Amino acid sequence: MRLFTVLLLVLLGLSQYRLWFGQHSITDYWRKQDEIRTQLLSNQELEKRNRLLKADVTDLQQGLDAIEERARNELGLIKQDEVFFRLFSQSDNTDNMNER
């Protein structure tokens, strides 16, 4: 009877070792759960970026207003017979003087 009890305790210890420290253990499970949470957050950010890009594509496909706005903002283009003024604040002027 004593041998049987010792054998059962050894088997219990081995199964507990595998549960906590072996392959596919509880710690592996927790690590995978953290990786899943991180990946889900990354996916949400990418989905948000994709929605913005799709909206930009739709705007560019639908009309010339979006193309004109982009050309003005990103390329600095102006229309014919249009005057362009660039205004500097006082702090911009002092920064430019300090760079010389």
pLDDT tens per residue across span 39-89:
999 999 999 999 999 988 888 788 788 788 878 878 877 888 888 777 888
What is the residue whose two structure tokens read 């991180």? 38
pLDDT tens per residue across span 26-36:
888 999 999 99
Q: 88: Cβ–Cβ under 8 A, 6 or more apart, which residues? A: 96
User: Using CA atoms, how far apart are residues 66 and 57, in angstroms rounded to an integer?
Assistant: 10
Q: Where are the domains of the chain?
A: 2-99
Radius of gyration of the chain from Cα atoms? 33
Q: Are 25 and 18 in contact (CB under 8 A)?
A: yes
Q: What pLDDT score was predicted for residue 24?
A: 82
